[in-house]
Structure 1
Amino acid sequence: MSTNRTVQEGPELSAAYGAKNLLVLEGLEAVRKRPAMYIGTTDTRGLMHCLWEIIDNAVDEALAGFGDHIDVRLDADGSISVRDVARGIPVDTEPRTGLSGVEVVFTKLHAGGKFGAGSYAAAGGLHGVGASVVNALSSRLDVEVDRGGKTWAMSFRRGHPGIFAGEGPDAPFTPGSGLRVVGKTARSATGTRIRYWPDRQIFLKDAQLSLDQLLGRARQTSFLVPGLTIEVTDARGEVPQTTALRHEGGISEFVDFLTEGSPLTGILRLRGADSFTETVPMPDAHGQMISAEVERRLDVDIALRWSTGYDTVERSFVNIIATPKGGTHVQGFERGMVRAFAKALDGTRLLRSGEEVTKEDILEGLTAVVTVRLPEPQFEGQTKEVLGTPPVARLVTRIVETELADYLTATKASTRQEARALMDKVVTASRTRVAARAHRENQRRKNALESSSLPPKLKDCRSSDGERSELFIVEGDSALGTASRARNSEFQALLPIRGKILNVQKASLGDMLKNAECAAIIQVVGAGSGKSFDIDQARYGKIIFMADADSDGAHIRCLLATLFFRYMRPMVAAGRVFSAVPPLHRFELTNPKRGMERYIYTYSDPEYQRTMAQLTSKGVHFKEPQRYKGLGEMDADQLADTTMDPRHRLLRRITLDDAESAAATFELLMGSEVAPRKDFIVQGAYQLDEDRIDV
């Protein structure tokens, strides 16, 4: 049978190509045709991005000094409501379009009050597409505005104005333009209420609003705009849940909230302002765009604190809009810190000849919130993840260098002592970095595939196929002997460890590298550690923790997970780290019926109880069930069948769905702070079923 055939997918193409083939998308059609260009994606992230656009408009009003309360509500019918008590969207007629301000804002791309018209000194919504894009991607959007003693209203269906005859997006709809008065209100009352239903023709079926993300963003905003209350109500369940967030302490309180580990310094505030000249297109008297020099003001406000830990938590914002991928303001901040430390250390004897500190040394243990405010910042893309305004880097560098150098060289006794401890930490981090680099270079000089360069206790596999090969990290030499006979030496390697390895969450990088067990694991994986980890160089496709099914085994698995999360995180993120699940019990049947195995294994106490009840009810006799206390109690065949053979074994993949949540959990369970862990244990003690304790 021949399998050679040509399959043509998509529409048939014509050789003729003329102006009639050109498609012109009018108004908001371009948004609906290519939504990812405006909101990044049509999954949950895009759904949340639309909500951020509406909330950010309300926050910009608060940032400008109008209104101090924002309500956000998620309803069971899938709608989202955002209400503020600010100035309200303009309802008068915009002269060039002849449309009301409300209709302009919600139907015209690149229209709004944030293009240098004097309405906002600094704002997050800068491209004028936020509200109109949300409108285009909504099956229904209702807006009400209180201004001038009246309540004005307007509705839209997928971006087109009109009137709905009922509730919800499926109500009968009559197209038609025009803002209408629907009520009266006090002349002093102003504000905007927006309710919209995301269009399920656009967004993926499994795209859902995340309450945790919403609360995180609301909390973050309440830190950045002191005095602003954001009230979030989730009415999707039977009982509505409301959370009110308000923080008067600003970004200093934000840094305190984010700090992990024991503080080494107090919270520092680096503030400053400067101006720069920018060439921008401006309309002349005839409406033509011409280049003009515009004076811009930049306000810098940074809060930071160092802790005794090693992780860096760095958040950056432009006009309260998060820039998770940094930009020129973050570049300036980090460059200014390096210059300030270099200047301060020159006046001490902490650094030896030839030593120097780098950005990585300074960032170790740092928690920082970097905020800048300026009119019309240049973002790289509508999602606003990177600030691109070039002069900002130079100005932030100068302000940070000046302010931080004053702190590091302070003469006040208490401040001088704190600054000295900080510089000691940075110098120590520098020496650890150099030692780690020397360690890596020494390892690279050796051939990772030569047995002489690998720990002698490693029982390697014959296959060099990185995708197929597996490394079992085995607890104890006794289990190693059984595992050696149970494994498939073609693709399964074994590395024994002696008991519990070092808790790397508390230890420094230098201490980790000195630990024989940790160093052996990193060496055998063969891809480096920390920021230099290269997952493409990993020698094994799967890393499997194999420990006893008891409390000590659980502790060992936790320690190994901590090592991989902290120093080989890409392996966890890629889903290549697993925990083997050995059985707890074995039933040996004395009269198995047809189709039944002679041996039945169970992996939990409930499964054990169910199996015993089922066998008894069927009249199947069995010997006294065997309870495994450890891997060493199984013979090679049993270990292979239950735990190592890919055809029968059960593995648990260690995943990394939320890096921040995972990091917080590791810090709670394995970090230096004892008090939070004690509280966690005490609270959990009341929920423990004493009958499940293995005595």
Structure 2
Amino acid sequence: MSKSANGNSYAAKDIVALEGLEPVRKRPGMYIGGVGSAGLHHLIWEIVDNSVDEAMNGHASEITVTLHKDASTISVSDNGRGIPIDKHPQTKKPALEMVLTVLHAGGKFEGNNYKTAGGLHGVGASVVNALSKELTAVVRRDGSQFRMTFSKGVPTSKLQKLRGTVRGSGTMITFTPDPTIFPKTTFDSDTIRHRLETASFLHRGLKVTFVDETQGTKQTYLHEEGIVDYLRKVLKDRNAKPIHEAPFTLNQDADPRMEITLQWTESTDEHIRSYVNGIPTGSGGTHENGFRGGLTKAVRNYIDTHNLTPRGVKISPEDIREGLVAIVSVFISEPQFQGQTKDRLNNPEVQAAVEGVVRPSAEQWMNNNRSIADSIVARIIAAARARAASRAASEAVSRKTAGKRSLLPGKLSDCISTGKGYSELFIVEGDSAGGSAKQGRDRNTQAILPLRGKVLNTESATLKKILENKEIQDMIAALGCGIGANMNVASLRYDRVILLADADSDGHHITTLLLTFFYRHMPQLIADGRLFIAVPPLYRIDIGKETYWAADEAHREEILAQHGGRAKPEITRFKGLGEMMPNVLWETTLNPATRKLEKVEIDDHLETDRVISDLMGRDASARFRFIMDRAEDAVEIDV
């Protein structure tokens, strides 16, 4: 018998073989990306994608999703062929049971039933079943209706043939997530609505209905112009003004089938939404790379052909795509996604295929629309000149704030373990709060950088103005990893970056401004899970000899409801972090053993981009609409 490094025995008996759907319940993150909000909603997408696959292959025309009154139960129905219910020749079990209880069991492997599909792993439906407290499948086939129920991936009934005859065919899956797996099982109506409307854009003629019983509403989406309608909506949502009227559109029915539409706008960023077989690929992939490469080559060829190359400035691919808003949708028979969550396409052959179609099509469109093309080129040249000026400003700031210890900000109170082991930087609102934090911190692992006043709104400022801002210069210098395209996370001087502001509305505003900066200019911190928000208390509640800390009004009322009956409570509202004693700040907010941190995560990159653009951008009309739509929800305003 062999021995492990610590001397314990390690033999065959120590090898655990999980059977059935046990691996899914043991490690749900491997299949749905996590058990947070994104993972919870991913359960819906798995079932909806199966219905969309039926529609993509000409077997369904309608999909209905119902959010039931408890906000934790979902029904997805379609008028497709219905999951087969006859017994499988090998297992002697109904095919419906196999699809819902066996990993890698499905009808998408051979290609006879599905030419294109969002999922080829045979995992989605069984994963949803494994992670559901209850799941009911109802199938309509051949004039009859069949029903089977499950709990946590295990059948709780046999396949039952229901009485009576029914018209048509289709499948309805109703499920409730398991609260022992998910900390929160309440679905968000807006998230579902956004995804379903997107599906109707990507599949012309598909009727998608969302019934929201929690709000008593029913919405139906049907878009005959498909992604062209989608582009109009994206432009409107982003308040992006196009510089040319007619968009470029590309439709290819040959394999790989692709639909692309785009317009250049006056915005200063690039915005591409890409999809594979109707699945959003937030992290891009080979199809998106092929689109970018083909478009860049087409524009360069046009510029060279018509002798439009500017003097004294070099045009980069980023200049060409600045202000671009595009929808890229491809359909392929055997997609290779990165992970079960299908966030990135990996098929290498797709890049060349997409580039080979986009380059000649876009070049021909530009040559046939010279006035449009010339306005696009003028916009690209202006972007190149602006980028050159910003680059010069960035280099000037970099020379002043190089990541050397001797050139770190004077008000930074660094920690001893920087660059050697675990360490964290607290970016603190105000010099007063910074003083308390410096005294209360653990000097070995915790660094403090106080910021003065409101942080610059980087969403509505130029890069030159951003890099000239003293507070932002201090943050860049303290972190030591650069920003934007020059950012190198390996050079980050701390393992964690924690935003620490007052618990009131002003503090929330400052946190939002900082989040905007990091999302736009240091997004890798968020992607790597290194950015956090500290949750300091807003109230101190003394009840008898016990002291409680409440983060907000709701938390205060919860504490009073639980403990207020024992003695008369004394409630103190903090005006800010600066009035907390260092030991109190340590106990409530800095001490890793007792504090609460919220990790900054992006569930939906597209929705996050829209929200930041609306709430922090230059156009105030979006904020006005937001406030007016939600004015009735404001019960107590902190002023």
Q: Confirm or deny a common fold (TM above 0.5).
A: yes
TM-score, normalised to structure 2, is 0.74
Aligned length: 609
Distance 1:542 1:98 in 2: 54
**Is contact 2:62-2:208 (8 Å) kept?**
yes
Query: Which residue of structure 2 aligns with residue 427 of structure 1?
Result: 384
RMSD: 5.4
* Corresponding letter in the other structure for 2:284: G
| CA shift digits 1:16-67 (9 cap, x unpaired) | xxxxx9x8x9xxx655556769945684666655543432232233233444
- Which of 51, 60, 67 is equivalent to 2:53? 60
Distance 2:32 2:535 in 1: 38
* Corresponding letter in the other structure for 2:622: P
Q: How much does 1:409 deviate?
A: 4.6
**Residues 443, 350 of structure 1: alpha-carbon distance in 2 compared, 3 angstrom cutoff:** farther
3-state SS of paired residue (1:263): coil
Structure 1 segment 68-87 matched on structure 2, within 5 A? 68-75=61-68, 80-87=74-81
3-state SS of paired residue (1:184): coil
Q: 2:355 matched to 1:397?
A: yes
Query: Which residue of structure 2 aligns with residue 357 of structure 1?
Result: 316
- Which of 237, 247, 263 is equivalent to 2:223? 247
Consecutive unaligned residues of structure 2, counting only runs of 5 or more, are: none
Q: How much does 1:192 deviate?
A: 1.2
Q: 2:118 matched to 1:124?
A: yes
Structure 1 segment 374-413 matched on structure 2, within 5 A? 374-379=332-337, 383-409=341-367, 411-413=369-371
**Residues 114, 247 of structure 1: alpha-carbon distance in 2 compared, 3 angstrom cutoff:** farther
Structure 1 segment 457-536 matched on structure 2, within 5 A? 457-461=410-414, 463-465=416-418, 467-468=422-423, 470-471=425-426, 473=428, 475=430, 479=432, 499-536=453-490
| CA shift digits 1:374-420 (9 cap, x unpaired) | 3344555655444344432222102211232344455453x245413
Distance 2:488 2:425 in 1: 18
Query: Which residue of structure 1 aligns with residue 137 of structure 2?
Result: 142
Query: Which residue of structure 1 aligns with residue 405 of structure 2?
Result: 449
Query: Which residue of structure 2 aligns with residue 270 of structure 1?
Result: 249
3-state SS of paired residue (2:460): coil
| CA shift digits 1:256-279 (9 cap, x unpaired) | 33342432445734314375xxxx
| CA shift digits 1:297-316 (9 cap, x unpaired) | 22221122344334443322
Distance 1:596 1:78 in 2: 36
Query: Which residue of structure 1 aligns with residue 518 of structure 2?
Result: 564
3-state SS of paired residue (1:304): strand
Q: 2:620 matched to 1:666?
A: no
Distance 2:101 2:536 in 1: 57
Distance 2:341 2:638 in 1: 51
Q: 2:207 matched to 1:229?
A: yes
**Is contact 1:255-1:267 (8 Å) kept?**
no
- Which of 232, 238, 243 is equivalent to 1:256? 232
3-state SS of paired residue (2:459): coil
**Residues 232, 156 of structure 1: alpha-carbon distance in 2 compared, 3 angstrom cutoff:** same
Structure 1 segment 41-56 matched on structure 2, within 5 A? 43=35, 48-49=41-42, 51-56=44-49
Stretch moving more, 339-348 or 68-77: 68-77
Q: How much does 1:221 deviate?
A: 0.8
**Is contact 2:588-2:595 (8 Å) kept?**
no
Distance 1:648 1:121 in 2: 55
Q: 2:609 matched to 1:656?
A: no
Q: How much does 1:370 deviate?
A: 1.0
**Is contact 1:668-1:676 (8 Å) kept?**
yes
Structure 1 segment 280-295 matched on structure 2, within 5 A? none
3-state SS of paired residue (2:416): coil
Structure 1 segment 164-179 matched on structure 2, within 5 A? 173=157
Q: 2:165 matched to 1:204?
A: no
**Residues 63, 629 of structure 1: alpha-carbon distance in 2 compared, 3 angstrom cutoff:** closer
3-state SS of paired residue (2:110): coil
Q: 2:168 matched to 1:190?
A: yes
* Corresponding letter in the other structure for 1:463: I
**Is contact 1:546-1:579 (8 Å) kept?**
yes
* Corresponding letter in the other structure for 1:72: V
Query: Which residue of structure 1 aligns with residue 626 of structure 2?
Result: 680
Query: Which residue of structure 1 aligns with residue 327 of structure 2?
Result: 369
Distance 1:380 1:262 in 2: 31
| CA shift digits 1:66-112 (9 cap, x unpaired) | 44321223555976533222344567899999998767866885552
What's the % identity of the aligned pairs?
27
Query: Which residue of structure 2 aligns with residue 151 of structure 1?
Result: 144
Q: How much does 1:125 deviate?
A: 4.2
Distance 1:328 1:404 in 2: 19
Q: How much does 1:224 deviate?
A: 0.9
**Residues 431, 152 of structure 1: alpha-carbon distance in 2 compared, 3 angstrom cutoff:** same
Distance 2:411 2:33 in 1: 45
Distance 2:416 2:308 in 1: 53
**Is contact 1:461-1:469 (8 Å) kept?**
no
3-state SS of paired residue (1:505): helix
**Residues 183, 397 of structure 1: alpha-carbon distance in 2 compared, 3 angstrom cutoff:** same
**Is contact 1:432-1:509 (8 Å) kept?**
no
Distance 1:549 1:140 in 2: 41
* Corresponding letter in the other structure for 1:84: D
